[in-house]
Amino acid sequence: MKRKWSEKIGFFSLFLSGVLVLFILGVILYDIFSKGSGAISWEFLSESPRQGMTEGGIFPAILGTFLVSLITVVFAVPFGMFSAIYLHEYARPGRLTRLIRLAIRNLSGVPSIVYGLFGVVLFVQMMRFGTSILSAGLTLGLLTLPWTITACEEALKTVPKSYREGALALGATKWYTIRTNVLPYAIPGMMTGMILGLARAAGETAPILFTGAAFFLPNLPKSLFDQFMALPYHLYIMATQHHAIEKVRPLAYGTALVLLGMVLLLNISAILIRYRYRQRMKGQS
Amino acid sequence: MDGETEIGHKIVVIEKEISMKLRKGQKLKETLIEKFFLLNGILAILILLGIFSLLFIKGFPAIRELGWKTFFGSAVWNPTSYEKARYGILSLINSTLMVTLGALVIAVPLGVSCAAFISEMAPPRLREFLKPAVEILAGIPSVVVGFLGIVLVNPLISKVFGVSHGLNALNGALLLAVMSLPTIISLSEDALRAVPHTYREASLALGANRWQTLVRVLIPSGLSGIIASIMLGMGRAIGETMTVLMATGNAPALTFNFLEAIQTMTATIAIELGEVPYNTAHYYALFVIGFVLFVMTFLVNLVSDLILQKYQEVER
């Protein structure tokens, strides 16, 4: 009897913890969506802040986040892909490969603020890009690189070995095999990884604090060497640094909703692509 | 006749030479391509070394000039004082450890039991729902979580504990728990799932019920993976910036009271780097903090890595 009760109580507490995790997610989403949706309007999405950021919209911040993410992707995707191709297709087990993997795992654990410090020294000061879209985008690119590599490698893993062996047996060279028989099948998987990396980069604040994000800019950025406004930084400012915090709270909620909505949309589309892709791969192998 | 065979022979030789040269060219091309990918492969090592050495180069002169004790022998962080600037980072380290441990106290039991629920108990349909939910939780930007710390958790804490405002270590710990939960859940679940089926079946066949099997067989067998997941969650909590920056009140004082405002290492860098002029003592002091932070997370990650590797060897 006692055993039975301990099982029941134990399983019930497991169930409760599962529910609690869902509850936490639910509270976060509900709060932001219910209080943020009131602020959303066409004006909010398409105009610049006015009157010391107490009125108007957040268009410059949306644009800034978009531009920075673009730089991030342009930098992180090719390097991440090439690195993954090396690790999965070329690397032989040994000390170097172990070292590379160790470096990747440790890079993904480096705090985002440390990437910020690194970006300030390397891009802003040493390379003289100044505080700019380019500096911030490259810093975020470094930050997302380990995730991109891991995601691309996972995608390469899903391509059956027989695809490679078939091409090699027919006399194709290694690169030809990879190009024609491996990459086309790995691309959808790589895409999901990139979208997830993009979502993370778009929501990061700490690395862009000193590499280019600005409090308020009267004009939209004209080149990659200009400063920019970004959604996460804008939310941070509206929530902590504004002179009339209570008054702009609805705007802060609106900004949070736009940011969260963007990130969620990217996440969900990545999950969906992966799901469909898995179904397809199941049918093939 | 003779001439013809000779010509034929010559043609064959030339053909061979051409194909040899072609193959050589191809081989060269293949090697070059491999070298190109190798270069990209070692990029990760270069970046890691780059981060380490830049932090070291920027931080070390400050340590040499001001002495170790200035940084590691004092808990007073007051770099902008007019009389005498103080760079003691002990209170900052203490703050970081406080919120991190507080977060783990909440997130470890919750995360591990949620992982056990997903892997051992949840019906398939609920599992299909829970796993993406955890992923979405992982994807919520830290600045949004920090914002909720201000607007939701802050008034809640001040009401429950009767303190004037709820921007304190407890708030930071709660938010960090939420931030590290997804890491702990998904990796612990992987660890539990990796336990061979035969263990489960043997335990059940001996008459143990599912709860006993979970507590006495599955969790001990998956323990190294679970511990590794906890370490990774811890590394994430140590390095989290925006949530603690927004929710802990940012007062660099040495305290062990969770209801007081604190200031973590990450928050200090975030607040002050934007305000200090480049290449001043204060500026370099921030790199010292960054260096310590880097070393801390590096060690945590390394330990989790070693645990995982050992565990994979045992599995094989």
Q: Residue A96 has what pLDDT? A: 92
Rounded to two decimals, what is the model's pTM? 0.89
Higher pLDDT, A283 or B132: B132
Higher pLDDT, A281 or B262: B262
Helices vs strands, H then E, count in chain B: 15, 2
Read off the pLDDT band of B269 (50, 70, 90): very high
Element containing residue B87 per DSSP (H, E): strand B86-87
Is the alpha carbon torsion for B127, B132, B135, B140 positive or negative?
A: negative
Q: pLDDT averaged over chain B?
A: 89
Q: Are A11 and B121 a contacting pair at CB < 8 A?
A: yes
Q: Residue A263 has what pLDDT? A: 93
Most A CBs within 10 A among B39, B144, B294, B312, hence the mutation to make, goes to: B144
SS (H, E, C) A236-268: HHHHHHCCCCCCCHHHHHHHHHHHHHHHHHHHH
The CB-based long-range contact list for A41-45 (8 Å cut-off, 24+ gap) reads A44/A251, A44/A254, A45/A258
Which two structure tokens, joined as six digits, stand for B3? 């001439």
Q: Residue A1 has what pLDDT? A: 62
Residue A176 at interface with chain B, using a CB cutoff of 8 Å = no
What is the C-alpha separation between B236 and B107, in angstroms, rounded? 12
Which two structure tokens, joined as six digits, stand for B109? 């039991």
Contacts of A105 in chain B (CB under 8 A): 301, 305
What is the C-alpha separation between B242 and B300, in angstroms, rounded? 21
Q: What is the DSSP letter of B248?
A: S
Q: Residue B164 has what pLDDT? A: 84
- Which residues face B78 on adjacent strands? B86
Most A CBs within 10 A among B32, B113, B131, B187, hence the mutation to make, goes to: B113
Q: Are A113 and B140 a contacting pair at CB < 8 A?
A: no
Q: Are A256 and B147 a contacting pair at CB < 8 A?
A: yes
Q: Are B140 and A175 a contacting pair at CB < 8 A?
A: no
Tens of pLDDT, residue by residue over B18-70, are: 777 777 888 888 899 999 999 998 999 999 999 999 999 998 888 888 888 88
The CB-based long-range contact list for B207-216 (8 Å cut-off, 24+ gap) reads B209/A3, B209/A4, B209/A7, B210/A7, B210/A11, B210/B120, B210/B121, B211/A6, B211/A7, B211/A10, B211/A11, B212/A3, B212/A6, B212/A7, B214/A10, B214/B116, B214/B120, B215/A10
Exposure of A62 by Cβ count < 10 A (0-12 exposed, 13-18 middle, 19+ buried)?
buried
Residue B1 at interface with chain A, using a CB cutoff of 8 Å = no
Exposure of B204 by Cβ count < 10 A (0-12 exposed, 13-18 middle, 19+ buried)?
middle
Question: Helix axis angle, B265-272 relative to B90-116, nearest 10°?
Answer: 120
Q: Are A145 and B142 a contacting pair at CB < 8 A?
A: no
Q: Residue B316 has what pLDDT? A: 44
Which two structure tokens, joined as six digits, stand for A1? 């009897």
Region B132-154 average pLDDT: 93
Yes or no: say if B113 and B181 are a contact pair by the CB < 8 Å rule: no
Q: Residue A281 has what pLDDT? A: 67
Residue B301 at interface with chain A, using a CB cutoff of 8 Å = yes
Yes or no: say if B58 and B273 are a contact pair by the CB < 8 Å rule: no
Q: Are B54 and A121 a contacting pair at CB < 8 A?
A: yes
Strands A55-56, B86-87: pairing kind: unpaired
Tens of pLDDT, residue by residue over A196-230, are: 888 888 999 999 998 988 888 888 888 888 999 99
The CB-based long-range contact list for A160-165 (8 Å cut-off, 24+ gap) reads A160/A284, A160/A285
Contacts of A236 in chain B (CB under 8 A): 143, 146, 242, 245-246
B:119-158 residues touching chain A, CB 8 A cutoff: 120-122, 126, 130, 132-137, 139-148, 150-152
Exposure of B15 by Cβ count < 10 A (0-12 exposed, 13-18 middle, 19+ buried)?
exposed
Q: Residue B128 has what pLDDT? A: 85
Q: Residue A282 has what pLDDT? A: 64
Yes or no: say if A75 and A138 are a contact pair by the CB < 8 Å rule: yes
Q: Residue A5 has what pLDDT? A: 86
Q: Are A102 and B278 a contacting pair at CB < 8 A?
A: no
Q: Is the pLDDT of residue B280 over 90?
A: no
Tens of pLDDT, residue by residue over B201-239, are: 999 999 888 888 998 999 999 998 999 999 999 999 999
Q: Is the pLDDT of residue B110 over 60?
A: yes
What's phi and psi for B77, nearest 5 deg?
Answer: -105, 105
Nearest CB to A14 within list B113, B185, B293: B113
Higher pLDDT, B286 or B253: B286
Closest to B139 measured CA to CA, from A79, A187, A267: A267
Q: What DSSP string runs through B27-76?
A: HHHHHHHHHHHHHHHTHHHHHHHHHHHHHHHHHHHHHHHH-HHHHHS---
Exposure of B31 by Cβ count < 10 A (0-12 exposed, 13-18 middle, 19+ buried)?
exposed
Tens of pLDDT, residue by residue over A173-190, are: 899 999 999 999 898 888
- Please compute Rg for chain A using Cα positions: 23
Q: Is residue B20 helix, strand or coil?
A: helix
Question: What ipTM goes with this model?
Answer: 0.91
Yes or no: say if A41 and A254 are a contact pair by the CB < 8 Å rule: no
The low-confidence residues of chain A, meaning pLDDT below 70, are 1, 281-285
Which distant-in-sequence residues (6+ apart) come within 8 Å of B53 by Cβ? none
Most B CBs within 10 A among A105, A114, A121, hence the mutation to make, goes to: A114
Q: Is residue B249 helix, strand or coil?
A: strand
Yes or no: say if B117 and A256 are a contact pair by the CB < 8 Å rule: no
Q: Residue B286 has what pLDDT? A: 92
Q: Are A7 and B136 a contacting pair at CB < 8 A?
A: no
Closest to A16 measured CA to CA, from B113, B214, B184, B135: B113
Q: Is the pLDDT of residue B312 over 70?
A: no
CA B314 to chain centre: 24
Question: Helix axis angle, B281-315 relative to B223-239, nearest 10°?
Answer: 170
